[in-house]
Amino acid sequence: MNALKFVLVFLTAFSGTTLVYSDVLEANIFEGRYHGQGRGCGGILTIQDKNISWHSQALNCEIDNYTITEEEHGGFSHRIIYRVKPKNKTCPLFAIELGHVESFSSYMVGWYGTGFFTEKEYENRQDPASASYVCALIKDYNPRNNPEPKDLTAQ
């Protein structure tokens, strides 16, 4: 991670642009509070370093035992999958996918959360029809891990 930060700072120093985005690398871009939008999604998804909670009209989950099975970053696009284990009665989720859509330059909007209730849904996640629970999300502003678009290097 430190090598990546050094390369970004080095490239920016010689390109003549300001690099505020390097500060973001110190934080996990996925951490924060997300507000669910739409039918059945009203509520809060909170991602923290050691736990996840998702309380909405359809879910009541407190998760402190999970693994990260996938993580991708590219431009403004970000995606991570949290595999919940073990599955419990109060939280029926098998896995959660959290992502940010490339076409949104603001890190407050353009988020989505997908809940997979079974291993089969999770394995078939490339097929949009396999997801049982998908929500559009708006993230609370936090300058530590989601800077305003004006702070980002032009792409």
Quick one: which H or E segment has residue 28? Answer: none
Please state the pTM of the whole predicted model: 0.75
List the beta bridge partners of residue 72: 79
Q: What is the dihedral of CA 141, 150, 37, 144, to 10 degrees?
A: -30
The tens digit of pLDDT for each residue in 42-81 reads 999 999 988 999 999 889 999 999 999 999 998 889 999 9
What's the average model confidence in pLDDT over 21-37?
72
SS3 130: helix
pLDDT (tens digit per residue) in 82-120: 999 876 778 999 999 999 999 988 888 999 999 999 899
